[in-house]
A and B are shown apart, each in its own frame.
Chain A
Amino acid sequence: MQKSENIIEIEHISHSFGDKTVLDDINLTIGKGEFVTILGPSGCGKTTLMRLIAGFLKASEGKIYIAGSDMTKTPPHRRPVNTVFQKYALFPHLNVFNNIAFGLNLKKLPSTEIKKKVMQVLKIVTMTDYEERDVDSLSGGQQQRVAIARAIVNEPEVLLLDEPLAALDLKMRKDMQMEIKAMHKKLGITFMYVTHDQEEALTLSDTIVVMSEGKIQQIGTPTEIYNEPINSFVADFIGESNILNGTMIDDNLVEFIGHKFECVDKGFGKNVPVDVVLRPEDIYIFEMSDAAKFSGQVTSSIFKGVHYEMMVTTPEGFEIMIQDYHHFDVGKTVGLRIKPADIHVMKKERLCNTFEGTIVDKSHIRFLGHTFKCPTASQFAHGSKVNVNVDFRDVILQDNEEDGMLPGIVSFILYKGDHYHLTVLTEEDENIFIDTNDIWDDGDRIGITISPEAIKIINL
């Protein structure tokens, strides 16, 4: 009974290119008439997901239902979906009219009807009088409109848009965003929009699907995603944010940056480590007074057009980004406070690194594809499978790949106010998480060292 309401249902879809898994067990349902945006950084698998729905790729595992029927193995020309390609993919050998009429001609519709339909969509995309033009003679924005017209003239159940505005300049992009939104309202069909631009996603969508590393991180309305990010990746990717380590002391009471704050979150338990997200525009900044919950010193202030973006350092050594209409001089001590409802508490995804390991002998253990020295290995029978815990602080990073026990690449950096939380990808495709005060760049190749004392073995 659900099937008639949902236009697309994706069940346990996984896909890999060679040994690289790009989509890992994706489940997603899209309702009829929804505007859904798949949002994520490049390489997160969003385009692959779209190509699976369009039929250009065949899923390694899982099922795709479109309009109630299983289309997992249906070739693209038999699917009730049409695509607007990233670089438009207009046929250079056909003029505007024949580009738009391509799909209708294949359906062998009478030519009067084709003409009527083409003229209709040309009106929708405000391109009347352009039907005889060569597609190469059109501007980027006009080509974009023709590409959209060519897709919607076929009256698909779902319109797929693959970063359709990426090639346009900022001003043009903003205008087209509004037009696409208006078109969606007018046509009433389902739009599935793929983008890496969080602002675009927030502006356009009914529902946003945030993806990272082949997995769906969060599904929700733009406000839900913005105000209640489920984890630090989403919080960091959507808008600007301060992400800090904290402790949930009790229901409605959280401690971070050395102070206790009232908040509206509960149900985490007592004294549980959490991540705290503060949006920079939610922090009140004012002349030092009794109203201040805590204080800080302005270290930088940049004018951003509408507001000023200031970095404030607290006496406890935490750096916080604040956006406000008022300017405060660099070096000034300011008062700060936060409303309970503006403190967003997230469960920590992990408290330390956990790896699967094997005891090699009395003083060695193997994990991450490397054999480490470990005195406590003697307590376990050799060959036994164990879990290994390593604290974020106990992983040492070196500039030269050769200096470390194993090499890795910095793949994600999160600033936590007083330190960085790094995600490092090893050659074995495993993630190591590291807390450090040193500054590294995304993509840095580094050496990783773990000292014998830092390895904690846990019997399974």
Chain B
Amino acid sequence: MTSTKSKVLWGIVTVLVAVYALFPVASILATSFKAPSDLTNQKFLPSPGRATTGNYEQILVGDAQGLFLTALRNSIGICLISTFIAVVLATLCAYAIARLDFPGKKLVLTTALAVSIFPVISIVTPLFNLWRSIGLYDTWPGLIIPYLSLTLPISIWTLAAFFRQIPWELEQAAQVDGATTWQAFRKAIVPLAAPGVFTTAIIAFFIAWNDFVYGISLTSTEAARPVPAALAFFTGASQFEAPTGAISAAAIIVTIPVVVLVLAFQRQIVSGLTQGAVKG
């Protein structure tokens, strides 16, 4: 029966899902082009002829530049470093879990699970106090360290799942064919493991990029404040002006890398999330 009818049906379903997934993004995108005086037009889109890029100018080259661009730099730097550390540690750990037999393997995995469901706010109070007394408050390392509690557990689970699927016999086969140990590892195993490591890095980065609790609790100035926290501190051009437009523009800018990554690597992200599935 089907073909045309089911094609149309699936077309409609896909459009519905796309509307569900993209509507809030479209909403804030439209808001980001509204002029301050146009914000109260009670409409989805800016009033005709009044759309403006003023909000983007304000945060990229204007008054709010210092606030936003520093926060963006902090976010990118802190999240990349924390992701990098987590992925390196997790690669070693997941290799051992997938390939070696040692007592405590289950303990390591259970700990990763427990850490990933840990209420973040419970760690914040003691860290806040500790960081203030040892000088890590409002610094990059002061966020990179607690971010490991977000990025490390998911990395371990995702990578362990990936590594378990690698046919490690290939390494031996390569050695039988005359490759040295290192060659066998580099030529047979690394190409198989690399996509898993890369996917894990993306997922871990998303989680760090999303953090808000650590960001507002453990920083007080632009020295280390990441974007999500900075958004909550945005103020309007004057005290009588709502920061709505500037926040929307900033929100769109930090959403772009996410959308690009999702578009480019959706297949890998889905398989990473469902195989290692601990926590998104």
The answer to whether A and B come from one shared complex is: no
Residues of B whose CB lies within 8 Å of any CB of A are none
